[in-house]
Amino acid sequence: MASSEIEVVSPTESTVLRQQVQNERQHGAPNGTAPASASNVVNVHSASAYGDFEKLRFYVEQEGASVSIPDGNGYYPLQWAALGNFTHIALFIIERGGDVNAADNSQQTALHWAAVRGSIAVADLLIQSGARVEAADVNGYRAVHVAAQYGQTAFLNHIVAKYLADFDAPDSDGRSPLHWAAYKGYVDTIRLLLFREASQGRQDKEGCTPLHWAALTGHAEASSVLVHAGTKKELAVKDKAGFTPAELASDKGHRQVAHFLSNAQLTQSNSLGKKLCGRKMRDIGFAPLLLSMILTCVFLFVNSVIAAPSFPKITAAIGIWAMIALSLAVLALIMFRRCSSKDPGYIKRQEDLDKHANTERNFQTHLKQTKGKKGLK
């Protein structure tokens, strides 16, 4: 595998969903999409997976089954309840001594499993019962990473806003949730993370930014969102193999994305010089240019007309004309100095317009409030 290619290792997908698919193939969908038959629910784990509260309570209270023992694959009943967003099942397990931070063989907790399906209600119950928001599995994936991997935008925003989860935390390979959302092409998740000012310039251990990930998988919309929301510097960043996002997209055969990124990079390089020149002209204006033109005209007039060696004897009329011309030049320099150093007053600046608009808006608000008070009286 080329060093520029990102090796995706998702134990969440390889453990949680693989086991779920096996169960679905054998017994039907557990997440409320199909009723569980008696043959499907055989222990506390399957009862938790299918949301069969009566069977779960029977196994625990009548047969004395434990809710703190994992199944043959190392998964706990609370994880299965979290995956299905069965809040009443999860609450029953917690009340019967279930550990909210119990981890399976991949060190994933029930909160990781809740993030797979975006189970917000169960996540609230788990965290309020003591679950660690920043718990990480063997690959450094936290709940925010898993939510980004599966496009669970609402879940991600919920745990970030309510429980202050670190939305920009890197995993063991230096990849943030924004990397994963870009790789999977979940545009809404990308927009959420960018709104919360997640770092676009973060490079993982392969030197790849989120834009590299979007380019690698050919997600055109994700690439467009990242480019337009970024500083454009990410377009020129190279990974450890020396590839920019545009080159990486071209190497993987994503022509549309490669064309878009190439044009964006070309536009950025062409506009760089214009921005620099425009910024300088905006700062100093055209004053030096006008001053140099006036001084050049005065010099040429004196050197070529008044002091010219081939010029005939200066008469009184020519002398008066020369004095008037020089006086006008000096007057022009004086007026230029005054106009360049003072605001003439008749040019409305943008800040003046904004200030006037704010004043007008405040006046209208005050007027409405005054009328309202008079109406109440």
**Is there a contact between 78 and 114 (Cβ–Cβ < 8 Å)?**
no
Confidence band for 285, pLDDT divided at 50, 70 and 90? low
Shared domain for 236 and 335, answered yes or no, is: no
What number of CA atoms fall less than 13 Å from residue 123's CA on the CB side? 26
- Is the same domain home to 254 and 364? no
**Residue-averaged pLDDT of the chain:** 81
Radius of gyration in angstroms for the set of CA atoms belonging to the chain, rounded to a whole number: 35
Show which of 251, 277, 303 is a domain's final residue: 277
pLDDT at 154: 97
Asked whether residue 4 is assigned to any structural domain, the reply reads: no
Please tell me whether residues 109 and 257 are part of one structural domain.
yes
Q: Is 51 left (phi over 0), alpha (psi -120 to 50) or beta?
A: left
Alpha helices in the chain (DSSP H): 11, 18-27, 44-50, 53-57, 77-83, 87-95, 110-117, 120-128, 143-149, 153-163, 177-184, 187-195, 210-217, 220-229, 245-251, 255-284, 287-301, 316-341, 350-376
Task: Please check whether residue 105 lies inside any domain of the structure.
Answer: yes
Domain count, the chain: 3
Q: Looking at residues 353-374, what average pLDDT do you find?
A: 60
In a domain? residue 251: yes
Contacts of 292 (CB under 8 A, 6+ apart): none
Same domain, 302 and 376: no
- Give the range among 6-10, 91-95, 142-146, 351-355 with minimum mean pLDDT: 6-10
Side chain identity at 234, as an amino acid letter? E
**Residue 303 shares a structural domain with residue 225:** no
Question: Angle, to 10 degrees, between the axis of helix 87-95 and the axis of helix 120-128?
Answer: 20
This prediction's pTM: 0.67
The one-letter amino acid code at 26 reads: Q
- Identify whether the C-beta of residue 215 lies closer than 8 Å to the C-beta of residue 249: yes
Considering the domain architecture, whether residues 191 and 300 belong to the same structural domain is answered as: no
Helix (H, G, I), strand (E, B) or coil at 6: coil
Task: Determine the structural domain holding residue 300 and report its residue range.
Answer: 286-342
What is the C-alpha to C-alpha distance for residues 64 and 199, in angstroms, rounded to an integer?
A: 50
pLDDT classification of 11: cutoffs 50, 70, 90: very low
Q: Are residues 236 and 301 in the same domain?
A: no
250 & 297 share domain: no
The whole-number pLDDT of residue 40 equals: 82
Tell me the C-alpha distance between 245 and 200, whole Å. Answer: 13
194 and 332 share one domain: no
Residue 49 has pLDDT above 90, yes or no: yes
Whether 138 is in a domain gets the answer yes
Quick: pLDDT tens for 186-221: 999 999 999 999 999 999 999 999 999 999 999 999
Residue 372: count of CB within 10 angstroms of its CB: 10
Evaluate whether residue 113 is within a structural domain: yes
Q: Are 107 and 240 within one domain?
A: yes
Confidence of residue 163 (pLDDT cuts 50, 70, 90): very high
Domain-embedded: residue 347: no
Q: How far apart are CA 201 and CA 205, in angstroms?
A: 13
Residue 260: predicted pLDDT: 94
Write down the pLDDT at residue 34: 40
Tell me the pLDDT tens digit for each residue of 12-33: 444 444 455 344 434 444 444 4
How many residues comprise the chain?
Answer: 377
- Which of 249, 277, 305 is at the close of a domain? 277
CATH of the domain at 264: 1.25.40.20
Answer whether residue 3 is part of any domain.
no
Q: Where does the pLDDT of residue 304 fall: very low under 50, low under 70, confident under 90, or very high at 90 and above?
A: low
Could you identify the residue written with the tokens 């679905």? 24
Do the domain assignments include residue 157? yes
The CB-based long-range contact list for 91-96 (8 Å cut-off, 24+ gap) reads 91/125, 92/53, 92/56, 92/57, 92/60, 93/48, 93/56, 93/67, 94/125, 94/129, 96/60, 96/67
What distance in Å separates the CA atoms of residue 198 and residue 177, rounded to the nearest whole number? 9
